[in-house]
Structure 1
Amino acid sequence: MIFYTLRRLAYGAVVMALVTVLVFVIMRMVPGDAVSLQLQETGVSAEEAAAMRAQFGLDDPVWVQLWTWLAGAFQGDFGTSYYGGEPVLSLFLDRVPVTVQLGLLAMVIGSLLGIGLGIVAAVTRGSATDGAVRAFAVAFLSVPNFVVALLLLTMFSLWFAWSPPLVYAGPGEDFGSWLQQIAIPVFALGTGGMAAMARMTRSSMLESLGSDYIRAVRAKGAGNRTVIAKHALRNSTISVLTLLGLELATVLGGTVIIEQMFSIPGTGQLIYQAVLDRDYPVVVACTIFYAALFVVIIIIIDLLYALVDPRIRTGRALS
C-alpha cells in the first residue's frame, strides 16, 4: 500500500509540473501583456512601459521567468498581482470561502437530487418515470452550466420580473440577499452533477437489484423498502462516492464563468478577470491551485479504491 501511495503521489507531481509549464507558456503566447493593456488604458510613454516590463521581469526569456516563479513558489511566494500589487496568495485565500460555499452547496443539492432521481428511475425501470429521468439526465449533461444559468436568469426576469441582487452580500451580512443571489448559480452548477449522479445511481442500483445477493435477501422475506435502502443502495455506494469526489472538483472549476455572470466575488471571478488583464501571476497561481485540487481528489479516490479492493494496488485485473 505504501508503494502504491508513493506511485500515485509521483504521478500527481508529474501532472502538476506539466500543468505549471503549460499554463506558464500558453499565457505568454497570448498576444499582449499587462503592460500593453495598461499602456492602452493610461497612455504611458514607451520608456515607462519598458521600465514596467523590466520591473515585472517580462523582458526575460520564458524559461527564466518560469524558474524565478518556481523558486518563489517553493518558498510560499506565488508572486504579486500586476494590478494593485497585492500578494497572489492573499488574493486567492480572501476569495476561497465564497467559492467553497457556492461549490459545496451546488454539489450537495445536486448529489441529493441526483441520487434520489436515480433510485426512483431504477425502482421504476421501464416506466414513463424512468424514461423522464433518463431524458432529464441526458439533457442536463449536454447543456453547459452557464447556459442553464442564463436560461434561468432570463426566465425569472421575463416571467416573474425578478432578478438576483447585483451587489454581493455574505450570509453573515444579509442572509436573504445572499440566498437570492446564489439560488440560480447553485442550481446551474449542480445540474451537471445531478444528471451524472442520477445516471450512475440508476445503473449501480439496477446492477445491485439484479444480483444473486438481493434475490437471496428477498427470498428471506425482506420488504421492498429494506431491500432498496439497506442493501441495494449500500452496494451502490462505491460508484456514487467516486463520482461525488470528481463532481466536487468539477463544480469548483465551473465557477469561473458563473461567478462572473452573477458578480460573485470568488476565485472564479478572480481568474476570469486576471485572464482578461493578462495578470500572469494570478492566472498561474490560481490554475495551479485548481489543478492541485483535482490531483488530490483523484489520488484520494484511487487510495480509497485500493483499500476496498487490494487487486487494484497489485495491478491484477478485476474478474
Structure 2
Amino acid sequence: MSTRMVIAIRLLRLLAVLFVVSVLCFLSMSLLPGDPARIILGETGATPEAVAALRTQLGLDEPLLQRYLSWIGGVLHGDLGASFRTSQPVMTIIADRAPVTIELILWSQVIALACAIPAAIAAAYRRRTATDRAISLWVFTTLSTPDFVIGVLLILVFSVSLGVFPANGYLTWSDGAGPHLESLVMPAIALASASFALYQRVLRADLVETLRKDFIVVARAKGISPWRVTLRHALRPSLLGLTTSVGVTVGTLIGSTVVIESLFGLPGIGAELASAVVARDYVEVQGLVLIIAAAFVLINAAVDVLYGVIDPRLTPARVLRKAVAR
C-alpha cells in the first residue's frame, strides 16, 4: 500500500470521525428531556409566546435534518451561533478565551514532562531500589489525588499561608511577564499533576522493557556507561508510548480545565463552558463542546504523524498495516 493511499485513508477516517462528532454535538440539545426553549427561559419567562418566539429563533420548529444542515453549514463558514445570554457570537467567545486555555494547557504539559521524564529515567535506571520505590510512592500519591484537591492545597499553602502567589484571577502579558506567569503557576501545577503521574509510569515501563533489548546489552558490552546507554540508546525508542499518552491527555485536559479555571478564576474556555451550562445557554454549550471534541480528534491525528518523527522506521504504510493486523 502506497504512502499516498495511506494518507488518503487517514484523511477520510479523520473526516468521518469529525462528522460523527458534529452529529453527536448537534443532537445533544435535541436529546435532552423537555423543551430546550422552555428550559432556557426558565420558570419565570417561559410564557407560551416567549417559548414560541425562542423556538423560532433557535430553529426548533424546523425538521431535524434541515436544522442539522443549516447548523453544519454555519459551522463550516465559522458560524456557531450566538450566545443566548450575551448575544455575542460563539466564535468570538472562543477566540477571546481560547488563548488562556491553550497557554494553561501548554504550561501544564511543560511542567508534567519536565518532572516525569527525569523521574522515569531515574526510576528505570535504579529499578527495584529505594529510589524507585520513593518515586513510585510520589507518583501514586499524585495519581490518586484529584487535580482540584491539589489546587485547593496549593491555594492554602502558597496563597493563604505564604502569600507567594495570588489565589485567583488572571493577568495578561500586558500587565507584566512576572505577574502574568504568577497567575498561571498554581493552575498549571494542579492541571499537570495527573499528567505527570501517567507520563512517569508509562515512560518508566517502556524504558525498563527497552533496557532488556539485545542492542542495549551490546551497547553495555562495548563499555558504554549505563547512564549514556539509558539516555542516548534507550530513551528515544521508549518515547512512543509517552507520545500517545501526551496526545490523549492533552485532549482530555481541555475538559479538565472546566474545574481548574473555575477554581482559580481564569477566563478560559473551561470556565466559560461551566458558566454556559449553569445559565442553560445551550447554543453556546453546543458550540464549545464541538470545538473541544474537534480539538481532541485533531490532536490525536497529529500524534500519529509524530510517530514517524520519533521512529523513522514507522512509515504511514507500516503503521496502518500494524493497525490492521491487530
TM range (shorter): 0.7 to 0.9
Contact 1:16-1:288 at 8 Å conserved across structures = no
Q: Which amino acid aligns with 1:313?
A: L
Q: Which amino acid aligns with 1:104?
A: L
Q: Taking structure 2 as the reference length, what is the TM-score of the superposition?
A: 0.86
1:298 to 282, 297, 300: 300
**Which residue in the other structure is 2:313 paired with?**
308
**Which residue in the other structure is 1:220 paired with?**
222
The answer to whether residue 88 in structure 2 is matched with residue 83 in structure 1 is no
Question: Mind listing any 5+ residue stretches in structure 1 that lack a counterpart?
Answer: none
Q: Secondary structure in 1 aligned to 2:174?
A: coil
Q: Do the aligned partners of residues 197 and 67 (structure 1) sit closer, same or farther apart at CA in structure 2, a change above 3 Å counting? A: same
Q: Secondary structure in 2 aligned to 1:81?
A: coil
Q: Which amino acid aligns with 1:72?
A: G
Q: Do the aligned partners of residues 205 and 128 (structure 1) sit closer, same or farther apart at CA in structure 2, a change above 3 Å counting? A: same
Contact 2:37-2:51 at 8 Å conserved across structures = no
Contact 2:168-2:263 at 8 Å conserved across structures = no
**Which residue in the other structure is 2:203 paired with?**
201
Cα deviation 1:248-288 (Å, max 9, x = unaligned)? 22323321111111110011111111122222222222222
2:192 to 190, 193, 204: 190
Q: Secondary structure in 2 aligned to 1:126?
A: coil
2:170 to 163, 168, 171: 168
Structure 1 segments of 4+ aligned residues over 6 angstroms from their partners: 316-319
Q: Secondary structure in 1 aligned to 2:87?
A: coil
**Which residue in the other structure is 2:267 paired with?**
265
Question: Mind listing any 5+ residue stretches in structure 2 that lack a counterpart?
Answer: none
Q: Do the aligned partners of residues 273 and 34 (structure 1) sit closer, same or farther apart at CA in structure 2, a change above 3 Å counting? A: farther
In 1, distance between residues paired with 2:231 and 2:261?
37
Quote the offset at 1:90 in angstroms.
1.2
2:141 to 132, 136, 139: 139
Quote the offset at 1:317 in angstroms.
7.7
In 2, distance between residues paired with 1:65 and 1:276?
25
Alignment map for 1:11-26 (pairs within 5 Å): 11-26=13-28
Q: Which amino acid aligns with 2:319?
A: I
**Which residue in the other structure is 2:67 paired with?**
65
Q: Taking structure 1 as the reference length, what is the TM-score of the superposition?
A: 0.88
Q: Which amino acid aligns with 1:308?
A: R
Greater Cα shift, 139-148 or 32-41? 32-41
Greater Cα shift, 152-161 or 3-12? 152-161
Identity fraction in percent: 33
Q: Do the aligned partners of residues 40 and 318 (structure 1) sit closer, same or farther apart at CA in structure 2, a change above 3 Å counting? A: closer
Q: Secondary structure in 1 aligned to 2:81?
A: coil
In 2, distance between residues paired with 1:267 and 1:6?
33
Quote the offset at 1:40 in angstroms.
4.5
In 1, distance between residues paired with 2:25 and 2:324?
36
Q: Do the aligned partners of residues 148 and 33 (structure 1) sit closer, same or farther apart at CA in structure 2, a change above 3 Å counting? A: farther
**Which residue in the other structure is 1:250 paired with?**
252
Report the number of matched residues: 318
Quote the offset at 1:114 in angstroms.
0.5
Quote the offset at 1:70 in angstroms.
1.2
Contact 1:119-1:202 at 8 Å conserved across structures = yes
Contact 2:29-2:36 at 8 Å conserved across structures = no
Q: Secondary structure in 1 aligned to 2:173?
A: coil
Quote the offset at 1:69 in angstroms.
0.9
**Which residue in the other structure is 1:117 paired with?**
119
Cα deviation 1:63-98 (Å, max 9, x = unaligned)? 443332112112222111112211111110111111
